[in-house]
Amino acid sequence: MLDVMRKHSRSFLIYVFFGIIIAVFVINFGPQSAGCVTSGTSYAGTVTGQRISIADFEYAQSVLGLRQRQGSEQQLVQLRKMVMDRLIARELLAKRALDMGYKIPIKEIRDMIFSGRYLALGQPRPLIRGEDGAFDYSRFSRYVRYYWGLNVKRFQDQQRRELLADKMRKYLETVVRVSEDEVKTDWVFRNTKVKLAYVRFSPGDYKSNAGDASALADWKTKNKARIAAYYKANKSSFSKLPEQLLLRVIELKFKSGDKKAQAAAKKKAAALLAKLKAGGDFAKIASESSEHESKSKGGLVGWRNASDPGIGKEASKAVAKLKKDQLSALVAETDRFVIARVDGKRKGDLTLAQAEDEIARKLFAESGAKGQAMAEAKKYLARATAGEKLSEIFTYDGTLDEGDDDKKKKAAGDKSDGDDSKAQKSDKKVQTTNLFTRNAAGLIPRLGISKPLSDEVFKLGAGSVVPHVVSIGKLLYIVKVIERKNADLGEWTKRRDDLVEAFANRKQAEFVRKYTYDLCKAAEKKKLISIESSVFFTRGYLAGQRKAGKKVTMPAYEPCKTIEPRPMPLF
């Protein structure tokens, strides 16, 4: 009798112990715990008339593992938006399935649950099982209650919506048709590789034409629209400016400590200053005699901050005292003499009229330098397309196999033979890429993104030169295919069935995603989706912010943004 009482006593203590644990768990994590909702909010939103309760939204977060995620409130808000998108998608697909006459009997729901699985926003997941691995209804019901905040009936309602959405997805998948030829073409597309040799021509390596005042004026007159567009796109660069000076300089250099060279430079600089004071053209004199890097631009160094124009310590002090259009005296630095002139002053926000001269000079100089780079690139391209190898025209360290078909060259005749220009070798370097495959963005290793070039080089054979100068960003290129590795059709034959299945799965998934997204945008346009933004924050966060006296701005939300389709590259 005593033994029985002891056993019952232990059992009672165990029940009390578990009761305490369950009570604590419910208080902290159960449905009444702090969730993503402000006080007074009774539901998370509606979709085509179907209400999404707070419990529905919190359940969706739980099954996707978001309730256990760590991170800043802002990061978690973005994740909750993703959960809401998937919940909306489920409701839209379930509604469409009902409209098409689909029904889900309770037996189908129970059979799925008893088999030990459930659907979590479209993804199949295993359900909790008993210690023997079999379905345990008692354990299952407790799990649903304490982990997801639902009773069994509401969980079954969730699964009914999941199964309806799942049936709609499966129906959409049957609409997609895939042919073997389509898959083969895609496989060849993805498994063909090329290697390129290229030579880069940078406009920055060429002299600009900014010193030609008459040409600049003519260009400015003809390109008013382009100047205005640049101003509009870069308006922040012309706003809230500190005091700035538009400077021109002439420099004559000498070796520091060499008094003879210093005296000669001073004498020459003094003569130039005398010419300027007599009315000489600063730009002409600078282009003829200055040793400053701005010589090619008539001595124009551009707009500089008045506090530090960067033309030397003493020269900077001198120009700070000058008025507009005033010429400095001869200024001595440690290794050069400087003559400067202030062509303009500005501060604050500039109008288009105030900024157009600077913009015109910049764009005109760029066009001139790019024109020179293009002209030189075309000159060398003509030699490459005539049959000369890039390694014969440009510098290359080592031996470069350019994939040229010498027999074809001889048959066509090497037009470069006997041409004196063949002996003139450029100091520009030939560079190469690794073997690479096509990608949707048109990314080419070491060159950048150019979909047109990507499409073009994959149509060319080894040894072929792209027949035009390629422009990517601000740079120009001569490009040649030096190796081509075609897809292995034997490998295709061996893996055909698996490849067709994988391709079909990808295409079906993309079709379902696009269909769902379009369904969502149509519902949004008809104002059939209404979401309470406050549900993206936790009660604790909102309460803390308000207690601290901080204003809380509700997050902007665009339904289904996170499921926007990303088409797979097909051709």
Per-residue pLDDT at 102 exceeds 90: yes
Look at the chain and count its residues.
571
Q: Quick one: which H or E segment has residue 285?
A: helix 282-289
Percent of the chain with pLDDT over 70: 87
Instruction: Mark residue 537 as left, alpha or beta (left: phi above 0; alpha: psi -120 to 50; beta: remaining).
Output: beta
Question: How distant, in Å, are the alpha carbons of 162, 189, 256, 520 from that of 123?
Answer: 9, 31, 77, 20
Q: What is the sign of the dihedral through the CA atoms of 211, 288, 369 and 445?
A: negative
Residue with the bigger pLDDT between 419 and 151: it is: 151
Residue with the bigger pLDDT between 16 and 431: it is: 431
- Helix orientation angle between 152-175 and 137-148, rounded to the nearest 10 degrees: 90
Q: What is the sign of the dihedral through the CA atoms of 486, 489, 490 and 496?
A: positive
Residue with the bigger pLDDT between 447 and 367: it is: 447
Residue with the bigger pLDDT between 440 and 167: it is: 167
CA dihedral 323, 324, 325, 329 (to 10 degrees): 30
- What is the pLDDT averaged over residues 144-161? 92
Question: Among all chains, which residue has been given the structure tokens 């005109």?
Answer: 364
pLDDT-wise least confident of 148-157, 213-222, 249-258, 259-268: 213-222
How many Å apart are CA 83 and CA 44, to the nearest integer?
A: 12
CB 235 within 8 A of CB 394: no
Residue 28 confidence class, pLDDT cut points 50, 70, 90:
very low
Residue with the bigger pLDDT between 256 and 470: it is: 470
How many Å apart are CA 131 and CA 124, to the nearest integer?
A: 22
Q: Which one-letter amino acid corresponds to residue 365?
A: A
Residue 70's contacts (CB-CB under 8 Å, 6 or more residues apart) are none
Per-residue pLDDT at 537 exceeds 90: no
The DSSP code sequence of 464-479 is PBPSS-EEETTEEEEE
CA dihedral 441, 442, 447, 453 (to 10 degrees): -150
Residue 18 confidence class, pLDDT cut points 50, 70, 90:
very low
CA dihedral 221, 225, 227, 231 (to 10 degrees): 150
How many Å apart are CA 400 and CA 432, to the nearest integer?
A: 9
Q: Are strands 336-348 and 430-432 parallel, antiparallel or unpaired?
A: unpaired
How many Å apart are CA 332 and CA 32, to the nearest integer?
A: 81
The whole-number pLDDT of residue 528 equals 94
Per-residue pLDDT at 1 exceeds 50: no
The DSSP code sequence of 176-206 is ----HHHHHHHHHHHH-EEEEEEEEE-GGGS
Residue 125 confidence class, pLDDT cut points 50, 70, 90:
very high
Mean pLDDT, all residues of the chain? 84
pLDDT-wise least confident of 241-250, 289-298, 443-452, 542-551: 542-551
The whole-number pLDDT of residue 9 equals 41
What is the tens place of the pLDDT at every residue in 277-304? Answer: 999 999 889 889 999 988 878 888 888 9
- What is the pLDDT averaged over residues 385-403? 85
Instruction: Quote the DSSP letter at residue 115.
Output: T
CB atoms near residue 156 (< 10 Å):
18
pLDDT-wise least confident of 8-22, 207-221, 233-247: 8-22
Q: Give the residue from 530, 542, 551 showing the smallest Cα distance to 39.
A: 542
The whole-number pLDDT of residue 22 equals 43
pLDDT-wise least confident of 154-163, 182-191, 215-224, 226-235: 215-224
Per-residue pLDDT at 23 exceeds 70: no
The whole-number pLDDT of residue 423 equals 54
The whole-number pLDDT of residue 469 equals 95
The whole-number pLDDT of residue 166 equals 96
How many Å apart are CA 294 and CA 307, to the nearest integer?
A: 20
Residue 405 confidence class, pLDDT cut points 50, 70, 90:
low
Q: Which one-letter amino acid corresponds to residue 48?
A: T
Q: Which one-letter amino acid corresponds to residue 208?
A: S
Residue 171's contacts (CB-CB under 8 Å, 6 or more residues apart) are 97, 100
The whole-number pLDDT of residue 160 equals 96
Residue with the bigger pLDDT between 17 and 73: it is: 73
What is the tens place of the pLDDT at every residue in 334-388? Answer: 999 999 999 888 899 989 988 888 888 888 877 888 888 899 999 999 999 999 9
Residue with the bigger pLDDT between 205 and 209: it is: 205
Per-residue pLDDT at 29 exceeds 70: no
The whole-number pLDDT of residue 533 equals 87
Sort 254 into a burial class: Cβ within 10 Å, 0-12 / 13-18 / 19+.
Answer: buried
Q: What is the sign of the dihedral through the CA atoms of 47, 49, 54 and 59?
A: negative
Residue 353's contacts (CB-CB under 8 Å, 6 or more residues apart) are none
Residue with the bigger pLDDT between 195 and 74: it is: 195
Residue with the bigger pLDDT between 420 and 558: it is: 558
In degrees, to the nearest 5, what angle opens at C-alpha 212 toward C-alphas 209 and 217?
105
CB 482 within 8 A of CB 403: yes
* Tokens representing residue 239 in the block: 């706003």
